Amino acid sequence: MFLSLPPRSQVFFFVARNIRKSGRRGGEAGSLWGLCLLAKKSMDLGTAATLCITKGKPRGETRLDTEAVLRIFFQSSQAVVQERRLEGKLHLIARAVVQAGLFRRAVVQLYGWTYGEKVFGSAGISAEEQEWLATHDVIDPALYARVVRYAVALGGPVYFVPHDLLERVLPDADDFLLRGASTALGPDRWHSEDMLYCRLQSSDGVEMGNITADEPFDGRIPGPHTAELLAPFVALASAVLEQELARRRDALTGCFNGACCRDEIGRRLQDGRRFALAFVDMDQLKYVNDHEGHAAGDREIQRVAGLLRQAASQVDGSVSRLHGDEFVVMFWSDRDETGVRDHLEHDWRLGGADASFGVTLSQPGDDIEAILRRAELLMYEDKVRRRSMAGTRGPDFH
């Protein structure tokens, strides 16, 4: 929570916490337009909020025109609602951060592992940097703990990473993208290797992406006042990402849904690199449903999905739930099919997650249905083998 927020910032922070609920009820247009109208209404609150938001700001932090920032936010919110493409929405949000006079360079990114493909929007960066961004996550979720540990918390999800601590946050700091051309002139001045990072997290705790920014217009290190002005842009970006993810996620497990699975297979086939695809079928779900009830069956599906997602995250893979008790796991792999299967057998049959696996590698000439069908047939062969090994003991395999 932001501490001692002025009325206007309280309004936006409240919206940031509740917009996702309205989004699930009313769809994207309904929730985002609600945010737009609330922004417009807040502009009529007078100058009291402006005076309040700047009162008590850290010494040396430049006072920004709050009214102008909120006006840019309102205008960008309207444009985001009207834009149909996700990439276009993210570009508009990044551009709004720059137009509001907060930073000269900004990137809004959705993690590839969360969405199934890397999507980002940017403002103020070069074509070369955009090309780099298309294949790299500037900060992946695994590094967020480092940000929290070493960075300066400015309020809410906004962190400032000083250049002298960047190596501790980013092990490969030399490859870090958003480095400005400015040079530090004093202890309160922005250094070319400083970084501002805003976490974009869903209402249920999923790390969706981030906003990274560089080169404040005034050249000074930002403080809590800047974090307060960034709050509505962070809320807007979080709402856009969560609504987009909801269309691609299975409601029960949080895994990708079947449509998203086929989209990802198509993208991987188009990429040309070899990848492994495992077709996973739970062996005893029918037994659980019949003897313990469907609620217990749903819990078992969630448990197995969690085990698969945990294992897949270690190899930068993804997990999709096709339907019922069937899952598809994909990840890039240089191993042969035996090596991949040994990896699955050793690492993925965790916590008693009884399942049959059909593992295949992509081949030249594959299409989406061909590779899925090949993996499914191998899964059935594994199920027959496991059934014969189990004999008549224990519940039947289904």
Burial call 307-321: b when 16+ CB within 10 Å, e when fewer: bbbebbeeeebbbbb
In this model, does residue 243 exceed pLDDT 90? no
Residue 366 or residue 163, greater confidence: 366
pLDDT grade, residue 68 (50/70/90)?
Answer: confident
**Do 348 and 311 contact (CB within 8 A), yes or no?**
yes
pLDDT in tens, 258-267: 988 998 899 8
Quickly name the fold that domain 7-246 has: Beta-Lactamase (3.30.450)
Name the strand (E) or helix (H) holding 264. Answer: helix 258-271
State the architecture of 258-390 in CATH terms: 2-Layer Sandwich (3.30)
Q: What is the mean pLDDT of residues 112-125?
A: 81
Q: What is the pLDDT of residue 61?
A: 54
Separation of CA 58 from chain center = 32
d(CA 96, CA 88): 12
Residue with tokens 């403080």: 223
Residue 232 or residue 21, greater confidence: 232
Among residues 243, 352, 369, the alpha carbon closest in space to that of 303 is found at: 352
Q: What is the pLDDT of residue 139?
A: 57
**Do 18 and 31 contact (CB within 8 A), yes or no?**
no
- Among 184-188, 259-263, 345-349, whose mean pLDDT is lowest? 345-349
CA atoms within 13 A on the CB side of 360: 22
In this model, does residue 92 exceed pLDDT 90? yes
Residue with tokens 């040309």: 272
CA distances to 51, 155, 388 from 225, rounded to whole Å, are 12, 9, 67
Q: List the domain boundaries for the chain.
A: 7-246, 258-390
**Do 374 and 360 contact (CB within 8 A), yes or no?**
yes
SS3 content of the chain, % helix, strand, coil (to 5): 50, 20, 30
Q: What is the mean pLDDT of residues 356-360?
A: 88
Among residues 329, 320, 316, 313, the alpha carbon closest in space to that of 276 is found at: 329
Partners of 110 in the β-ladder: 119, 209
Helix (H, G, I), strand (E, B) or coil at 161: strand
CA distances to 258, 336, 365, 368, 369 from 269, rounded to whole Å, are 17, 17, 9, 8, 12
Residue 46 or residue 303, greater confidence: 303
Among residues 385, 397, 319, the alpha carbon closest in space to that of 354 is found at: 397
d(CA 108, CA 350): 36
- Among 93-102, 133-142, 315-324, 344-353, whose mean pLDDT is lowest? 344-353
Q: What is the pLDDT of residue 122?
A: 92
Q: What is the pLDDT of residue 64?
A: 66
CA distances to 38, 65, 245 from 44, rounded to whole Å, are 10, 15, 34
Share of the chain above pLDDT 90, in %: 20
d(CA 139, CA 87): 19
In this model, does residue 34 exceed pLDDT 60? no
DSSP 323: E
